[in-house]
Amino acid sequence: MYNVCINKNKQKHLRSDSMTNYTTKKRVFKQINTESETYKLNFIIDGAKLIESHSDNSYICLSYQSTTKETTCKCCKRSIRRFKAYNDIVLNYGYYGHKTILLKIRQKKYHCEHCRKTTVENLTNRIGKRQESNEVSQMIIKDLQSDMTYTAVAKRLSMSVSTIIRRFDSYRKGLSQAQEKKKVIAVGVDEVSMIKSRFNKFQFVVVDHQTGNILDIIEGRKRQDVLDLLKKKYDEISFVSMDLWPTYQKAFKETFGNIVVIADRFHVVRIFMWAFSRSRIQLFKEHGITTTKHWKILTCRGSKLNDNALEKLDKIFDEINMLKEVYEAKELTFDVFKHQSVEDFESSFSRLKEYVYEHDLKEFYSAIKTVENWYEEICNMFIYGHYSNGRSERVNVGLKRMKALVYGFRNHERTFDLAMHKLNKIA
């Protein structure tokens, strides 16, 4: 029994020490006021006068006292003058240079003779009982629009990470009230590997073509997930640009029957470049040549090569059989998918198809078949050339950069809201 009592006493002693070492704004303010030198700095606060100011390497502490004679009752909205007591608060007032400003202000409590309620005046423009001014809350929201993380913003403003998250949640809650179905003309869709969960490795992103803003991010990219999103949040969409993922095509056509689906030019050309790379690597291996050799000159457009490069290219063709035919198929691909009319595309694609089958370039067969399966959507690419997935890819890069700055995400909805807050343009 004696040993148990000693252990309990030790636990109580440790608990008291840990609470004593816990740093609060009031404790920091008191310590700096007693141990640091005075500092000449004065912020003008209406209805208050400066009593004293101190500073150390990290903080500037300012003490103010109320000079008001009356205030407005919070209940009956009448002017009241009956003084009751003082109320001391310490809050974060922003930063000056590289130092955090801690403001201690002695505010007055007034008693209302009409409704018998007590009102504490608000001289610092703070919301509720927050320990920072409204200006600091706005700094938090502004800082989160940059590449700064929650932790970086917390360190900069000398606040806790949980407080930064709560301020962002309250800000997003004020914006995400009940909304009607979104009416947009054209959107671009893409997927990004931002959060990997047990059931979903990719997230589905919808971007407005007109503004370039993210409209929605959902956790999965399965057909049913996409259908639920489109039916719930979108009234009518006329145009959609996408990569060559058939799930998106089926979901949009099922939801909006007359929608124009536009294939993205970059993704179409990329499947032919993949075929060229596979063919080149296979030929290099057959001739015992390192696969990374000459890759730069071979992947470059022929029209961009100078005379020395063209001579070197001819030597490579003499050294490796069939490489010239593969290279010509790659060059024809660029001519097929350049900006032109649908009629010119059809004739140039026929020449490319004939060339591939004539020289038996088997790696290009799957690319040709993909174009045939997406023929209508690729023709729309030439008709509506001003729509592409460029904006969606910009968003994709921004989301990956955001992912690289942190160690992971816990709350998916908050993460998606933060992504839209960082990447969407402010009106």
Question: 30-65, pLDDT tens digit by residue?
Answer: 888 788 878 777 778 888 999 888 888 888 889 999
Per DSSP bridges, beta strands 214-218 and 203-208 are: antiparallel
The answer to whether 93 and 103 are in contact (CB under 8 A) is yes
- pLDDT given for residue 180 in this prediction: 57
Phi, psi of 196 (to 5 degrees): -105, 115
Beta bridge partners of 241: 188, 262
Tokens of 23: 């740093």
- pLDDT given for residue 28 in this prediction: 84
Tokens of 128: 């509720």
Return the ∠ at Cα 236 (arms to 235 and 239), rounded to 5°.
Answer: 145
CA-to-CA distance for 296 and 304, rounded, in angstroms?
12
- 111-147 pLDDT, tens digit per residue, is 998 898 999 988 887 888 888 888 889 999 999 998 8
For the chain, give the percent of residues with pLDDT over 90.
48
The amino acid at 157: L
DSSP string, 268-337: HHHHHHHHHHHHHHHHHHHTT--TTTTHHHHHS-GGG--HHHHHHHHHHHHHSTTHHHHHHHHHHHHHHT
Helix (H, G, I), strand (E, B) or coil at 342: helix
The residue among 62, 121, 59 whose CA lies nearest residue 90 is: 62
Helix (H, G, I), strand (E, B) or coil at 200: coil
**Number of CB atoms found within 10 A of residue 164's CB:** 24
Tokens of 63: 């003490």
pLDDT band at 85 (very low <50, low <70, confident <90, very high): very high
For the chain, give the percent of residues with pLDDT over 70.
93
The answer to whether 45 and 124 are in contact (CB under 8 A) is yes
Range 331-350 average pLDDT = 92
CA-to-CA distance for 99 and 274, rounded, in angstroms?
54
H/E stretch holding 129: none
- Comparison of pLDDT for 4 and 313, the residue scoring more: 313
pLDDT band at 406 (very low <50, low <70, confident <90, very high): confident
Give the architecture (CATH level 2) of 182-264+388-423.
2-Layer Sandwich (3.30)
Taking the domain 131-177, which CATH number applies? 1.10.10
Beta bridge partners of 90: 104
345: Cβ contacts below 8 Å, ≥ 6 apart: 336, 337, 378, 379, 382
pTM, to two decimals: 0.78
pLDDT band at 179 (very low <50, low <70, confident <90, very high): low
For the ranges 61-65, 89-93, 364-368, the one whose mean pLDDT is highest: 364-368
Average pLDDT of the chain is 86
Taking each helix axis from N to C end, the angle separating 134-143 and 161-175, rounded to the nearest 10 degrees, works out to 90
Give residue for tokens 């006021």: 33
- pLDDT given for residue 243 in this prediction: 92
Q: Exposure pattern of 116-134 as b/e (b: 16+ CB <10 Å)?
A: eebbbbbbbebeeebbbbe
Tokens of 94: 């922003």
Alpha-carbon dihedral angle through residues 114, 119, 125, 128, given to the nearest 10 degrees: -120
